[in-house]
Amino acid sequence: MAFDLIGRGLHRANGNALVEVIRPCRTALLVVGLLSGMLNLLALSGSFYMLEVYDRVLPSHSLATLAGLTALIVLLYAFHGLFDLIRGRLLLTVGAHVDEALSERTFRATLLRPGEASLGSDGAQLVRDLDQVRAFLTGGGPAVFFDLPWLPVYLALCFLFHVWIGAAVLVGALLMVGLTLVAEAAVRGPTREAVAAGGARLHVVACLSRNAEAVRAMGMLPELTRVWDRASRPYSRHQERVAATTAGLGALSRVLRMLIQSLVLGLGACLVLRQDATGGVIVASSILATRALAPVDQAIGHWKGFALARQSARRLTALLAAPEAPPRMALPAPRAILSVENASVAPPGAARLTAADIRFTLESGQGLGIVGASASGKSSLARLLVGIWAPVRGTVRLDGSALGDWDPDALGRHIGYMPQESELLPGTVAANIARFRPDAGAEAIIAAARAANVHAMIQALPAGYQTRIGERGTDLSAGQRQRIALARALFGNPFLVVLDEPNSNLDGEGEQALTDALMTVRRRGGIVVVVAHRPSALAAVDRVLVMGEGRMLTVGPKETVFAHTLKAVPPAGGRAAAQVPAATQAPAAAQAPASPQASSAPRAQTAGAVS
């Protein structure tokens, strides 16, 4: 079937998942095939029109016959245009179906499974791959697949005119098919390299644009321009190779086609002189030869787009070939305990563990501070606790259920997370706090803002909660972004709240608001985990876990750890570890258990201690 040919042509290896996506369009593609057949039959109209004019009209001097033939050819060409339009619209429908079928999965893979999707340095590559496949399907490329099978029909008609004409067209067709195979071999490698270089190039410009202010302020533009040039030069070189190869072969094929057309004219004249053919055969065979070679010529012209689409289809098919996670049973909301059972974690695609053999237990109402030198594995542990990174070994459980047993979207409603870089998304302040949930009510949004103590700050913005912020919240200060990100983490009263360096951009008022917010989470029975370098962030926790070189050194009550364990920890880098004992100066009210559940911390500390 034609749709199988298109799908397998786009992706010859790694399975046929893309074919399965195209398969529901079999009816549309069947109609496209029928229309292509009719278009190829109608393409013979010009040849037979000229044949009739030379063989009937001119000898008979009949204007009526000429008028009738002309009216007929106008009607046939009108149908040709109509069928071509319908075929183009159907191919647009097929492209739209492929985009709709893959768009959501591609987007989710870009955001949720970068390691599995093999995106390399550019997380948007899969989105561009989908665009490339759709552009090919909606362009003139697929029509070539439907026109190529008619090449033998045109050759047969050429042989019916005369064996010499058929032989000449056959030789020309073989030469052009050879050019097509040469084009395939010539552009395959450069196309693959151009795609890889293009991803690296876009990654560089994305990184530089995110740091544009620092670049301008510190006069780094000339040096980084050279970095951009080094990243852009390979892409340009590979693109030039692909374009030059395609353009050269395309020019050669066009010259060859015109040469064959002229040779067929000359051959037809020779046959007329020998009285082996009529005068109409001269023009008709020339037009027929051109039509016979046109699909091959078009294939060479579309080969660059075909090669790019095939590269993109390979990556999309690899994504589709990955088995989807089976639907998970709905679990009750967690209310009691977070347990980490000898868990180890590594970044997706990496072999080196960044946090290993972590084990502790937190009960409802408790708060844990994670401290340690830089690169000791604190942020990796935070990602492990919220399910961003899956454990290499061991398990993280909420109320006895492993995080992998939860539906990811359902789990997210019970987790509040604030990474080190508090980036906000384009939209209103209210939408960012509500995590862009369409069903979020104003009361829940304001409650989250009040819990983070940012309600008054938001009211002071130009449009209050409806103030629109730009990419990464660039219309707000770093402290404002961090406090709104805290409100987002607290939205919906999640059971587990994990904050990574939550006070890095906060002033004294913001830090007090952070402490109050975390104490509120503990009082309502939630669990708080805070990754911190600055001791003020630990005022609202009652337990501390110390990380060192990717391993848990100790865990226990805050006062005990600060009083005994940290004295023996060498301050790697000098400052980070040395600052932590100052957290013992936190207000006594913040150090005391905030709820009946928190008062059970001494009883639970044995389960979390290092053996």
Say how far apart CA 343 and CA 551 lie, in whole Å.
10
pLDDT surpassing 60 at residue 355: yes
Mean pLDDT of the chain: 78
Say how far apart CA 263 and CA 268 lie, in whole Å.
8
| Cα pseudo-dihedral 424, 427, 433, 439, rounded to 10 | -140
Between residues 553 and 131, the one the model is more confident about:
553
pLDDT surpassing 60 at residue 237: yes
pLDDT surpassing 90 at residue 529: yes
Residue 507, token pair as written in the block: 């002033």
For residue 591, the model assigns a pLDDT of 36
For residue 606, the model assigns a pLDDT of 32
pLDDT surpassing 70 at residue 474: no
Which one-letter amino acid corresponds to residue 490?
Answer: L
**Percentage of the chain exceeding pLDDT 70:** 82
Contacts 24+ apart (CB under 8 A), 443-449: 444/491, 444/492, 445/491, 448/487, 448/488, 448/490, 448/491, 448/492, 449/487
Section 207-215 average pLDDT = 70
Q: Is 44 left (phi over 0), alpha (psi -120 to 50) or beta?
A: alpha
pLDDT surpassing 90 at residue 487: yes
Between residues 215 and 193, the one the model is more confident about:
193
**Is there a contact between 124 and 107 (Cβ–Cβ < 8 Å)?**
no
CA distances from 243 to 128, 194, 251, 592 (A): 19, 11, 12, 70
> SS3 of 44, please?
coil
So where are the chain's domains? 1-321, 337-565
CATH architecture under which domain 1-321 falls? Up-down Bundle (1.20)
- Tens digits of residue pLDDT in 532-546: 877 777 888 999 999
**DSSP structural state of residue 327:** P
Cβ density class 331-360: b for 16+ within 10 Å, e for less: beebeebbbbeebbbbeeeeeebbbbebbb
Confidence band of 391 (pLDDT split at 50, 70, 90): very high
Say how far apart CA 187 and CA 176 lie, in whole Å.
16
pLDDT surpassing 90 at residue 610: no
- Tens digits of residue pLDDT in 404-452: 888 888 888 999 999 888 778 888 899 999 999 888 889 999 999 998 8
What CATH number belongs to 337-565?
A: 3.40.50.300
- Tens digits of residue pLDDT in 317-353: 776 666 666 677 888 889 999 999 999 999 887 788 9
Confidence band of 42 (pLDDT split at 50, 70, 90): confident
- Tens digits of residue pLDDT in 70-107: 999 999 999 999 998 998 888 888 888 888 777 777 77
Q: What is the pTM of this model?
A: 0.65
Say how far apart CA 303 and CA 144 lie, in whole Å.
10
Pairing mode of beta strands 551-557, 543-548:
antiparallel
For residue 13, the model assigns a pLDDT of 38
Please give the span between the terminal C-alpha atoms of the chain, in angstroms, as a whole number: 66
Confidence band of 560 (pLDDT split at 50, 70, 90): confident
pLDDT surpassing 80 at residue 111: no
> SS3 of 571, please?
coil
Most confident of 176-190, 249-263, 541-555: 541-555
- Tens digits of residue pLDDT in 271-296: 888 888 777 777 777 777 877 777 77
